[in-house]
Amino acid sequence: MPDVALQASGLSKQFISGGEPVPVFCGVSLLLKAGESLALMGRSGSGKSTLLNLLCGLERPDEGEIWVGGHRVGAAGDSPKEQPGQWAGLRRQSLGVVFQDANLMPALTLLQNVRLRASLAGQPDGQGPEWLNRLGLAGLEHRYPDQVSGGQRQRAALAMVFAMQPEVILADEPTGSLDRHTADEVADQLFRLRQETGCALVLATHDPELAARCGQRLDLAHPGRQSDCQ
Ligand SMILES: Nc1ncnc2c1ncn2[C@@H]1O[C@H](COP(=O)(O)OP(=O)(O)O)[C@@H](O)[C@H]1O
Ligand SMILES: [Mg+2]
């Protein structure tokens, strides 16, 4: 695994609202080596989800560059025709992304979802029950996503990412819908996986206890950041 897992330099993003440009953030840079973790903090609307979307190629930056595993994969001004395939390949194999609205396939059971994600990443799919067990979902393997709670769906989405064995995990408020005890257990598993596989973690979170477990912290609500935007 390359030493630098994820790097971004000078990322800026704005949206157009009512015909007016609305800056979200400017000049955001980060560098995560294998095994490092970053807490992405900031009040609601500060751009945490937007930054995660840039880091996995679902949105394009207005300025700045992104490297995954030492390869430059995204930059403002890159041809939109070239990028989607490259980013899709990374999301299949190297970037494990957990969105806030746990993105499970509704027609598949939790176990089938985990197995599918493992196979797409070229990983063995036989460990599905173990990944679900690690996220506290033993006994729910054969339920469909609409037969479990929102918090259980979110944990199943994490089990899918664990099964990928990615180089980088990007998780949007992974403990946001969980009670304190379950949140702590899920965080334990995230950090245990990091230790076992050397993956890097980027966690958008409001949870100060989860943030405190991360080695780095990036606060998007830092005063002055938005006023730096042109
Ligand atoms: N697709 C979009 N179009 C227009 N505005 C958006 C879009 N996505 C996010 N925004 C705006 O960008 C800002 C940051 O949103 P978001 O990244 O979701 O923040 P957070 O995850 O920190 O709550 C918000 O003001 C939001 O309304
Ligand atoms: Mg968000």
pLDDT averaged over 10-residue windows placed end to end, the chain, 230 residues: 85 92 93 96 93 94 92 74 77 91 91 96 93 95 96 93 95 91 91 93 94 95 57
Among 41, 44, 50, say which to mutate for ligand 1: greatest number of ligand atoms within 8 Å of CB. Answer: 50
- In short, whether 15's Cβ falls inside 6 Å of ligand 1 is yes
pLDDT for 65 equals 94
Instruction: Point out the ligand 1 atom lying closest to the alpha carbon of residue 43.
Output: 22
Counting Cα atoms < 13 Å in the Cβ hemisphere of 69 gives 15
Ligand 2 geometric centre to CA of 124 (Å): 32
pLDDT for 83 equals 66
Ligand 1 geometric centre to CA of 87 (Å): 21
Rounded-to-integer distance, Cα 2 and Cα 9, Å: 18
pLDDT for 212 equals 95
Among 11, 13, 15, say which to mutate for ligand 1: greatest number of ligand atoms within 8 Å of CB. Answer: 15
- Of the candidates 78, 55, 73, the one whose C-alpha atom is nearest the C-alpha of residue 202 is 55
pLDDT for 177 equals 84
Hey, what are 200's tokens? Answer: 């890097």
- Using one digit for the tens of pLDDT, what is the confidence trace for 174-190? 998 889 999 999 999 99
What 3-state DSSP class applies to 148?
coil
- In short, whether 49's Cβ falls inside 6 Å of ligand 1 is yes
- In short, whether 45's Cβ falls inside 6 Å of ligand 1 is yes
- In short, whether 48's Cβ falls inside 6 Å of ligand 1 is yes
pLDDT for 224 equals 44
Ligand 1 geometric centre to CA of 17 (Å): 11
pLDDT for 75 equals 73
Hey, what are 31's tokens? Answer: 């560098």
Ligand 2 geometric centre to CA of 125 (Å): 31
